[in-house]
Amino acid sequence: MQSLLQNASEILRENDLGTYTVPTHGLYPFQWNWDSCLTALGQAYFDEERAWREIETLFAHQWEDGMVPHIIFHKEDDGYFPGPDVWATGRDVPTSGITQPAVAGFAIKRLFDRAKDRELADAKARALLPKVKAWHDWFFANRDPQGTGLVAILHPWESGRDNSVDWDAAFERVPTDGVLPFIRRDLQHADADHRPTQAQYERYIWLVQLFRSLDWDNSKLHDASPFQVVDPGFNGILLRSCMDLADLADALGEVEVAESSRAQAGKGIAAMDTLWSDAHGQYLCQDRVLGELIDSPSVGGLLAAFAQIPSERAAIIAERITKIAELVNYLVPSHDPASSDYDGKRYWRGPAWLIVNYMISDGLSRAGQTAVAQRIAQSSVKLIEQSGFAEYYDPKSGEPCGGTRFTWTAAMVIEFIS
Ligand code: 2M8
């Protein structure tokens, strides 16, 4: 365990560029939103100041309307596509124009609760609190214009689960005509069979071009997008962060932030029930354009357990994961291994990801499902011991896939074993 910890902290240091950390050198040479927030949890074990700085850097690039972008292009690097020219968001320090799972509220609450340096934690949390709140408010104002309590993603990259089976049907509505020619850089760093397809990339870029043509005006994007999906995993993360922000605000004496955040969480959790599927024993995505559930049993519907869902739902999710465990050697596959769409090496269509494992395990543990929570944690550590700190893993063979010496994988290992 000691050497695992040491290897993990070496990876965090190796990918640390001072004020932010790259997910891995080569494949992802910039700062990613949810990567940074989860990375900070690992950094806090050896340097609390550095951990707070990771999240502060991210929020220093928050847009005026409250959105926190999914990539911050701190310095030039032509090793990644799509780079700043494709996004063309017109910011001094270029950023992308879409967002990512809102895990910052959870992360700052956890940093605050565990902090040894109380004075530092108090100051940093106080400064970040209104910024995280503004991001949450942005979500409900811009991504839930009808006030349902749940927000939609407008691009698969926002979910963080880029090529999940969940998006396939809705993606049929996204055309590819008019997409400017491009060269993918990811294929210089990773196996093409482990990455999204060319057809998916064309649609990713078509959506970017559409949003760019609307000047990245968030008041227009939701209704203009042919892709609007309510993802239970994405909402579960946001709602957990709302609840954690409420508790943090209480601790800091910020009554209004606490009340408003608790109301957002309560409304969202109640609405989440509309995504529940008895047939699958988990939550499903909803295609907001059609107003229908998407029949795709992915890990997004299990990740919802990160939020305070009703305990009977958490129990069914724990049972479901136990059943899934009969079909794989390592938990938790990103898609149901019994489904014909399952692809154990292709990115978010089957492989196991440590960050997702961490959040599911944390949520189930809080819901009292400790046996399954521990099983997920043990499975995660076994994967690292056998296959190193990869981006993701084949849940049957344990083969490491994607990028290597991966930052958030290292951070999650520290979380699991410390
Ligand atoms: C992956 O996504 C990026 C686009 O944002 C890509 O493939 O180019 C996803 O796994 C995402 O969840 C993650 O934040 C990012 C960096 O690790 O890589």
* CATH classification at residue 109: 1.50.10.10
**Over 90: is that where the pLDDT of 324 sits?**
yes
Of residues 123, 124, 50, the one with CA closest to residue 411? 50
pLDDT 10s digits, 151-166: 999 999 999 999 999 9
Peptide bond into 82 cis (omega under 30): yes
DSSP string, 198-226: HHHHHHHHHHHHHHHHTTT-HHHHHHH-S
| pLDDT reported for residue 347 | 98
**Over 80: is that where the pLDDT of 325 sits?**
yes
pLDDT mean over 228-248: 99
**Over 80: is that where the pLDDT of 295 sits?**
yes
Question: What is the number of structural domains in the chain?
Answer: 1
Domain containing 66 equals 2-417
| pLDDT reported for residue 199 | 96
pLDDT mean over 18-40: 98
| pLDDT reported for residue 245 | 99
Question: What is d(CA 190, CA 288) in angstroms, rounded to the nearest whole number?
Answer: 33
The conformation of residue 392, written as its DSSP 8-state character, comes to E
- What is the Å distance from ligand 1's center to 392 Cα? 11
**Over 80: is that where the pLDDT of 301 sits?**
yes
pLDDT mean over 113-140: 98
**Over 90: is that where the pLDDT of 180 sits?**
yes
Which residue's CA lies nearest to atom 17 of ligand 1? 23
The gap between the terminal CA atoms of the chain, to the nearest Å, is 9
Of residues 258, 237, 249, 245, the one with CA closest to residue 362? 237
**Helix H or strand E segment including 400:** strand 400-401
3-state class of 270 per DSSP?
Answer: helix
Tell me the two tokens of residue 336: 């149901």
CB of 324 closer than 8 Å to CB of 316: no
Which residue's CA lies nearest to atom 10 of ligand 1? 160
Q: Which residues are catalytic?
A: 162, 391
| pLDDT reported for residue 290 | 98
The conformation of residue 181, written as its DSSP 8-state character, comes to P
Confidence of residue 2 (pLDDT cuts 50, 70, 90): confident
Q: Mean pLDDT, the chain, as a whole number?
A: 98
**Over 80: is that where the pLDDT of 124 sits?**
yes
Which residue's CA lies nearest to atom 7 of ligand 1? 162
CB of 305 closer than 8 Å to CB of 317: yes
Tell me the two tokens of residue 326: 């009969």
- Residue showing tokens 């990160």: 306
List, chain by chain if needed, residues with CB within 6 Å of any ligand 1 atom.
23, 28, 32, 34-35, 70, 157, 160, 162
- What is the Å distance from ligand 1's center to 194 Cα? 13
The CA distances from residue 10 to 7, 23, 28, 91, in Å, are 5, 14, 18, 33
Closest approach atom of ligand 1 to CA 70: 5
Peptide bond into 332 cis (omega under 30): yes
Give all strands of the β-sheet with 286-287 in edge-to-edge order.
229-230, 286-287, 292-293
3-state class of 146 per DSSP?
Answer: coil
**Over 80: is that where the pLDDT of 12 sits?**
yes
Question: What is d(CA 337, CA 317) in angstroms, rounded to the nearest whole number?
Answer: 15
| pLDDT reported for residue 208 | 98
Which residue's CA lies nearest to atom 9 of ligand 1? 160
- Residue showing tokens 């910011």: 91
Torsion, Cα 28 33 36 40, to 10 degrees, reads -170
The per-type count for the chain, helices as H runs and strands as E runs, is 17, 9
Closest approach atom of ligand 1 to CA 403: 17
What percent of the chain lies above the pLDDT cut of 70?
100
CB of 409 closer than 8 Å to CB of 390: yes
Closest approach atom of ligand 1 to CA 80: 8
Confidence of residue 252 (pLDDT cuts 50, 70, 90): very high
| pLDDT reported for residue 1 | 75
pLDDT mean over 20-27: 97
DSSP string, 346-364: STTSS-B-HHHHHHHHHHH
CB of 356 closer than 8 Å to CB of 332: yes
- What is the Å distance from ligand 1's center to 412 Cα? 16
Q: Which of 22, 157, 392 to mutate to test the pocket of ligand 1 (most atoms within 8 A of CB)?
A: 157
Q: Which of 28, 80, 166, 208 to mutate to test the pocket of ligand 1 (most atoms within 8 A of CB)?
A: 28
